[in-house]
Amino acid sequence: MPVKPFLKWAGGKRQLLPWFLGMYPPALKEGRIAHYYEPFLGSGAVFFDIVQRYQVANACLTDINADLVLTYRVIQSQASKLIEALWTHQKKYLALSQQRRSGYFYEQRQLFNQQTGLSATGSKGVARAAQLIFLNRTCYNGLFRVNASGAFNTPAGDYKKPVICDEANLLAVAHLLRNASIKKMGYAQALKNLPASSFVYLDPPYRPVSQTARFTAYDASAFGDAQQARLAEVCRRLHAQGLPFMLSNSDTADGFFDALYKGFTIQRVPARRLINAHATKRGPVNEIVVTNYAP
Which stretches of 189-283 are assigned E, i.e. beta strand?
Answer: 198-202, 245-250, 265-272
pLDDT at 217: 56
Q: Do 76 and 212 fall within a single domain?
A: no
Higher pLDDT, 170 or 277: 170
Q: Does residue 271 lie in a domain region? A: yes
Q: Alpha-carbon distance 12 to 172, whole Å?
A: 19
Q: Are residues 103 and 237 in the same domain?
A: no
Residues spanned by the domain of 41: 14-64+185-291
pLDDT digits (tens, 9 = 90+) for 197-247: 999 999 999 888 655 444 445 555 678 999 999 999 999 999 999 999 999
Euclidean distance between CA atoms 83 and 220, whole angstroms: 29
The whole-model pTM stands at 0.91
Question: Are residue 163 and residue 194 in the same domain, yes or no?
Answer: no
| The pLDDT of residue 40 | 96
Indicate whether 225 and 145 sit together in one domain: no
State the pLDDT at residue 248. 96
pLDDT in tens, 134-192: 999 999 988 888 887 878 999 999 999 999 999 999 999 999 999 999 999 999 999 99
pLDDT in tens, 3-34: 999 998 876 788 899 999 999 999 999 999 99
In a domain, 245, yes or no: yes
Q: Which amino acid is at 83?
A: I
Residues 77 and 133 reside in one and the same domain = yes
Confidence of residue 274 (pLDDT cuts 50, 70, 90): low
Gyration radius of the chain over CA positions = 19
Residue type, 159: Y
Residues 258, 118 share a domain: no
Name the domain boundary from 171, 205, 226.
171
- The pLDDT score that the predictor gives to residue 175 is 97
Query: What is the number of structural domains in the chain?
Result: 2
**Domain end point (choices 136, 171, 206):** 171
> Phi/psi of residue 160, each to 5°?
-75, -50
Question: Is 5 among the domain residues?
Answer: no
> Domain check: are 94 and 227 in the same one?
no
* Average pLDDT value for residue range 28-55: 96
Mean pLDDT on 33-43:
96
Last residue of a domain, one of 171, 198, 219: 171
What are the CA-CA distances from residue 176 to residues 31, 34, 55, 281 (Å)? 18, 15, 12, 35
Find all residues with CB under 8 Å of 65, minimum gap 6, and list them: 184, 218, 219
**Chain CA centroid to CA 190, Å:** 16
Task: Report the C-alpha gap between 219 and 152 in whole angstroms.
Answer: 9
Residues 195 and 165 in one domain: no
Q: Is residue 178 part of a domain?
A: no
Are residues 143 and 220 part of one domain? no
Of residues 211 and 249, the one with the higher pLDDT is: 249
pLDDT of residue 222: 73
Residue 231 to residue 187: CA distance in whole angstroms: 8
Q: Where are the beta strands (DSSP E) in the chain?
A: 35-38, 58-63, 180-184, 198-202, 245-250, 265-272, 284-291
Of 206, 222, 172, 226, nearest to 288 (Cα)? Answer: 206
Determine, yes or no, domain membership for 4. no
CATH number of domain containing 276: 3.40.50.150
Q: What is the per-residue pLDDT for 211?
A: 52
pLDDT tops 80 at residue 52: yes
More confidently predicted of 1 and 90: 90
| pLDDT band per the 50, 70, 90 thresholds, residue 117 | low
pLDDT band at residue 123 using 50, 70 and 90 as cut-offs: confident
Strands 180-184 and 58-63, how do they pair?
Answer: parallel
CATH number of domain containing 101: 1.10.1020.10
* 217 alpha-carbon distance from chain centroid: 12
239 domain-assigned: yes
In a domain, 8, yes or no: no
What pLDDT sits at residue 17? 94
Q: How confident is the model at residue 273 (pLDDT cuts 50, 70, 90)?
A: low
- pLDDT of 284 higher than 80: no
Do 58 and 202 have their domain in common? yes
pLDDT tens track for 56-67: 999 999 999 999
Q: Which amino acid is at 114?
A: Q
